[in-house]
Amino acid sequence: MANIIHTYFSIYFTEIIVGVLLISIFIVIISIFYVIFNSKDDVVMKKLIVKKTKKIKYTEQFLKGVDGIDLELKVNKKNF
């Protein structure tokens, strides 16, 4: 039995390799289309889950000590 399998494998080796490559390429293409067509759902879900941030109240003494520092910690996206 093993001899028969070895004989078929050595005869059809190129066809087996081509078949495996075609199946792999087909799976990758299907995966790409799946991600492209389902990405719209993720954007909608992210918009629904947006959390509101609480504004922190600082004391007068603290604000005097940190004069000139941005307490909101906003990131300038142009620098990144």
**pLDDT tens digit sequence for 21-35:** 999 999 999 998 888
Sign of CA dihedral 49, 50, 55, 56: positive
pLDDT tens by residue, 37-62: 776 655 555 665 556 667 777 777 77
User: Residue 6 pLDDT > 50, yes or no?
Assistant: yes
Sign of CA dihedral 43, 47, 48, 50: positive
Q: How many domains does the chain have?
A: 1
| Segments forming the whole domain that contains residue 39 | 2-79
Which pair of tokens denotes residue 31? 């995966």
pTM of the model: 0.44
Give 50 or 2, the one with higher predicted confidence: 2
